[in-house]
Amino acid sequence: MSGKTMTERPTKRGIPEGLWVRCPQCKATVFKKEVAARLNCCPECDHHFYTSAQERIAQLLDESSFEAWDTDLRPVDPLEFVDRIPYHARLVDEQKKTNMPDAAVCGKGFIRGRPVVLGITDFAFMAGSMGSVVGEKLTRAIERATEMKLPLIFVSGSGGGARMQEGILSLMQMAKVSAALGRYAQAGGLYLAILTNPTMGGVAASWAFQGDITFAEPKAMIGFAGARTIKNTIRLELPEGFQTSEFLMKHGFVDRIVQRRDLRTEVARIIDYCEIR
Q: Counting every residue, how long is the chain?
A: 277
Between residues 1 and 115, the one the model is more confident about: 115
Between residues 180 and 3, the one the model is more confident about: 180
pLDDT for res 1: 47
DSSP secondary structure code for residue 244 in this structure: B
Burial of 224 (0-12, 13-18, 19+ CB in 10 A): middle
Angstrom distance (rounded) from CA 247 to CA 274: 27
Angstrom distance (rounded) from CA 260 to CA 68: 22
Non-local CB neighbours of 167 within 8 Å, separated by 6+ positions: 79, 81
Cβ atoms within 10 Å of 6's Cβ, excluding its own: 4
pLDDT for res 160: 80
Of the candidate ranges 29-33, 195-199, 226-230, the one whose mean pLDDT is the lowest = 226-230
Cα 138 to Cα 48, 64, 226, 227, distances in angstroms:
25, 21, 25, 28
Segment 42-56 mean pLDDT: 95
Cis peptide before 198 (omega within 30 of 0): yes
Angstrom distance (rounded) from CA 45 to CA 76: 42
Give the residues across from 217 on adjacent strands.
none
Q: Using the CB atoms, write b or e for 250-276: b if 16+ within 10 Å.
A: eeebbbebbebeebbebbbebbeeeee
Residues 133-171 pLDDT 10s: 999 999 999 999 999 999 999 999 998 889 999 999 999
Domains, in order of start, for the chain: 15-49 (no CATH), 50-276 (3.90.226.10)
Non-local CB neighbours of 150 within 8 Å, separated by 6+ positions: 108, 115, 116, 117, 189
Contact criterion met (CB below 8 Å) for 263 and 60: yes
Whole-prediction pTM value? Answer: 0.90
Q: What is the dihedral sign for C-alpha 126, 127, 132, 137?
A: positive
Distance, CA of 37 to chain centre = 19
